Amino acid sequence: MPAKANKVKQTVNKKKRRQVQATAVANKRLPAPVIKASKTKGKKRQELVAHLTGAAKASGAAAAEVPEKLKARQAAEFKEMKAKVAKLKKERKKLPKKGSKSEKVAVAQQIKELIHSTQVRHQAELAAAGLDVAAAPGAGEASMMSDDDV
């Protein structure tokens, strides 16, 4: 009986993988993969907000809404999002302590994505309407919505 050769695990580094994905996207002319708002920070987040702002301006939705109504709608959406986050945190707390790490991580990621996507969307809507983004209701509330309090 011949001896079995050990299998060698092949790895592809991230830079090469991204280059391959970029060339595949360029060749197929498919839209770029969706960037999750929770993964974006700094320059990427600014680019995402700028892209969403351009899309909102192009659709004309920003001009149709009065600034007071826009802020009131965003405040209601933020309040609704906070209620969803609280519900998800309660569900996460009810998960068993042992053997459910993957579920807890998934819920934590869902919470993070919900918070960040709402914030990015609201920033883009305010920018498209020509309003001050820093004075937005919820612009500085990210620290309040952390996962550490559960």
| Percentage of the chain lying above the pLDDT 70 cut | 70
Among 37, 18, 39, 58, smallest CA distance to 123 is for 37
Q: What is the mean pLDDT of the chain?
A: 77
C-alpha span between 106 and 117 (Å, rounded)? 16
What is the per-residue pLDDT for 134? 64
Cα dist. 21→40, 43, 106 in Å? 19, 21, 25
pTM: 0.59
Backbone angles phi, psi at 143, to 5 degrees: -70, -30
What is the per-residue pLDDT for 31? 46
- What is the per-residue pLDDT across 42-82, written as a single tens digit (0 to 9) for each? 777 777 778 777 777 777 665 667 888 888 999 999 999 99
What is the per-residue pLDDT for 36? 65
Residues 6+ apart with CB under 8 A from 56: 62, 124, 125, 128
> Of 49 and 1, which is predicted with more confidence?
49
Mean pLDDT across 18-44: 66
- Tokens linked to 118: 């709402």
122 in Cβ contact with 78 (< 8 Å): yes
Among 34, 131, 113, 112, smallest CA distance to 73 is for 131
The separation between the first and the last C-alpha atoms of the chain, rounded to the nearest angstrom, is 58
What is the per-residue pLDDT for 49? 78
